[in-house]
Amino acid sequence: MPPRARSAWFRTLGLLMLCMAGAALLGLAIGHPWPVVTLAAFGVLAWHYWRLRRVLQRLTARRRLPPPEGVGVWNEMDRLLHRGQVEMRGRKRRLVEMLRAYRAVAAALPDAVVVVERNSQRVQWFNQAAGPLLGLRYPGDIGVPLVQRLQPLPLAHWLAAGRNAEPLETASPLDPSVTLSLRLIPYSENLWLLVARDVSRLLQLEQMRRDFVANVSHELRTPLTVVHGYLDLIDDGQYPELTPMLAEMQRQSQRMAQLVEDLLTLSRLESQDGLPAEEQVALAPMLSTLRREAAALSQGQHTITVEDIAGVDLVGSGKELHSAFSNLVANAIRYTPAGGEVSVRFRPDDAKDNPGGVVLEVRDSGYGIPAAHLPRITERFYRVSTSRSRESGGTGLGLAIVKHVLQLHQARLKIRSEVGRGSTFACHFSRDRVRPRSRAEADTGTDTTGTHA
Ligand code: ADP
């Protein structure tokens, strides 16, 4: 017990004993000790009841009572209660202020924020921006199922995915020209946060960037063809002193032409949401073509093997798939020193998360890529070594093209590499992309054996 409370308790005990002793003395003096002591005891009891009433009053009073004055155990108890009440009021005030501040922040956000009850998927709360972006109205929409309220939006499946729901891009239910990006954030056991952001401007800027790159590349094509043509014309052996210069100019203009072609390919891939054509792509002739291309690039400097173990075809765009695979093969040759090995394998996928899938794998025994570069290697113009890439005639866009083509085919690119030992680029296709090979094609026979180019 704190000293102040202990002394109040002793003081009240002392007063009680003094009262009773005084009453006993008075009773003895007038010759009736027991009635006087009993009377005094009742008096003390009445006083205690009266103080108890004061304490109850403080506990139940709606208005603030002044702090007690005086000493004694009841006053001390009253004082402690008063102090507790003052502290609690302070805490409550601070909490309410904090809650108001948080609500003000959430209300002022430019993104729509909606609190949704997880099981019933009913709207619990939303901020101001949810009005203009999602068309929610207060208070009518509180407690209404979200899917029903935002009917035109394809939310039912998306909400069902819950925690795993990928951000969804969709038109606003109020204005189809506004594109919203929706995210679902589970923030407690039974509450979700739906955040909707207007991304129309971002998409517009992205489109402008794509158009700009596509237009510039397109405009560069014609002047480059002209320059190329004239260079060919000049280089007819008339000016032997200019030959090395002309050869370099031709090499560089060819590089530029390749760059423009790659940029145009990337723009085309980026601007299509789905594949232009979903055809059965015959893999046997494609593998033969890859082998021929590899042999032409290598010019006999590498051991090239092509294996067709899967014996199936793919569904997708033959042109895009060929562009992706030949980029990988070209890289393998370009980043492998003479005498190295390059192998292309088309095999069933043994990964557990891709049953029935297939892999096209390009492996080399070349320079390899340091692990730190792997996460960014598919970015445009990202190079491990700029000089090596330029020397080998690279545009810096090959792997970006590969990534986009695979994305359009819902396939994944996995890269394994070890510096000094080589790299493996594996394209994993799901079973939905696999088709049995037609008889005619199977009969023509494919490269199942190693080929030394
Ligand atoms: P580039 O035209 O420069 O080859 P890519 O996008 O095809 O551009 O490749 C990006 C970079 O990745 C290259 O510059 C190179 O450093 C590295 N790279 C790609 N393939 C391989 C490979 N098989 N072995 C080693 N490095 C590679």
Mutate to test the pocket of ligand 1, among 331, 374, 376 (most ligand atoms within 8 A of CB): 331
- The DSSP bridge partners found for residue 58 are none
Alpha helices in 235-273 (DSSP H): 243-271
Which of 104, 135, 169 delimits the end of a domain?
A: 104
My answer on whether 18 and 149 are in the same domain is no
Separation of alpha carbons 270 and 408, rounded Å: 9
pLDDT of residue 451: 38
Separation of alpha carbons 447 and 304, rounded Å: 12
Element (H, E) at 4: helix 3-30
My answer on whether 153 and 250 are in the same domain is no
My answer on whether 283 and 266 are in the same domain is no
Backbone angles phi, psi at 60, to 5 degrees: -100, -10
Taking the centre of ligand 1 as the mean of its atom positions, its distance from the CA of residue 389, in whole angstroms, is: 7
Sequence-ordered list of residues with C-beta below 8 angstroms from that of 142, at least 6 positions apart, any chain: 123, 124, 125
My answer on whether 21 and 160 are in the same domain is no
Quote the number of domains for the chain.
4
pLDDT of residue 453: 33
Neighbours of 232 (CB within 10 A): 12
Smallest CA separation from ligand 1 atom 10, residue: 383
My answer on whether 260 and 310 are in the same domain is no
Smallest CA separation from ligand 1 atom 2, residue: 394
Contact 185, 195 (CB under 8 A): yes
Taking the centre of ligand 1 as the mean of its atom positions, its distance from the CA of residue 64, in whole angstroms, is: 77
Residue 135, domain CATH: 3.30.450.20
Which amino acid type is present at position 105? Answer: V
My answer on whether 432 and 381 are in the same domain is yes
Taking the centre of ligand 1 as the mean of its atom positions, its distance from the CA of residue 373, in whole angstroms, is: 10
Which of 198, 215, 240 delimits the end of a domain?
A: 198
Smallest CA separation from ligand 1 atom 18, residue: 331
My answer on whether 367 and 236 are in the same domain is no
Sequence-ordered list of residues with C-beta below 8 angstroms from that of 47, at least 6 positions apart, any chain: none
pLDDT of residue 450: 39
- The pairing of strands 191-198 and 112-117 is antiparallel
From first to last of its 453 residues, the chain has per-residue pLDDT tens of: 788 888 888 998 999 999 999 999 999 999 989 999 999 999 999 999 998 888 888 888 877 778 778 778 888 888 888 889 899 999 999 999 999 998 888 888 999 999 999 888 899 999 999 999 999 998 999 999 988 888 877 787 788 777 777 888 888 888 889 999 999 998 888 899 999 999 999 999 999 998 999 999 999 999 999 998 888 888 777 778 888 888 888 888 888 999 999 999 999 888 876 666 789 999 999 999 999 999 999 999 999 999 999 999 999 999 999 999 999 999 999 999 999 999 999 999 998 889 999 999 999 999 999 999 999 999 999 988 877 777 777 788 999 999 999 999 999 999 999 999 999 999 999 999 999 987 666 555 444 333 333
Separation of alpha carbons 10 and 285, rounded Å: 104
My answer on whether 260 and 283 are in the same domain is no
Separation of alpha carbons 347 and 354, rounded Å: 13
Specify the DSSP class assigned to residue 313.
E
Closest CA relative to residue 49, chosen from 39, 38, 57: 57
pLDDT of residue 442: 59
Separation of alpha carbons 435 and 453, rounded Å: 30
My answer on whether 224 and 341 are in the same domain is no
Which of 177, 198, 219 delimits the end of a domain?
A: 198
Mutate to test the pocket of ligand 1, among 385, 389, 401 (most ligand atoms within 8 A of CB): 389
Closest CA relative to residue 117, chosen from 142, 134, 154: 142
Residue 313, domain CATH: 3.30.565.10
Sequence-ordered list of residues with C-beta below 8 angstroms from that of 331, at least 6 positions apart, any chain: 362, 394, 398, 399, 425
Mutate to test the pocket of ligand 1, among 260, 334, 361, 369 (most ligand atoms within 8 A of CB): 369
Taking the centre of ligand 1 as the mean of its atom positions, its distance from the CA of residue 383, in whole angstroms, is: 6
Does 369 sit in the ligand 1 pocket, CB within 6 Å? yes
My answer on whether 310 and 409 are in the same domain is yes
My answer on whether 100 and 113 are in the same domain is no
Smallest CA separation from ligand 1 atom 7, residue: 398
Taking the centre of ligand 1 as the mean of its atom positions, its distance from the CA of residue 382, in whole angstroms, is: 8
Does 335 sit in the ligand 1 pocket, CB within 6 Å? yes
User: Sheet containing 112-117: which strands, arranged edge to edge?
Assistant: 123-126, 112-117, 191-198, 179-186, 168-171
My answer on whether 346 and 373 are in the same domain is yes
Measure the CA angle with vertex 246, ends 243 and 252; round to 5°.
145
Separation of alpha carbons 81 and 63, rounded Å: 14
Smallest CA separation from ligand 1 atom 20, residue: 331
Does 402 sit in the ligand 1 pocket, CB within 6 Å? no
Does 132 sit in the ligand 1 pocket, CB within 6 Å? no
pTM for this structure? 0.69
Cα separation of the two ends of the chain:
95
Instruction: For residue 280, give the 3-state DSSP assignment.
Output: strand
Residue 173, preceding peptide bond in cis (omega within 30° of 0): no
Does 332 sit in the ligand 1 pocket, CB within 6 Å? yes
In terms of residue numbers, what domain contains 213? 205-270
Which is the closest atom of ligand 1 to the Cα of 367? 25
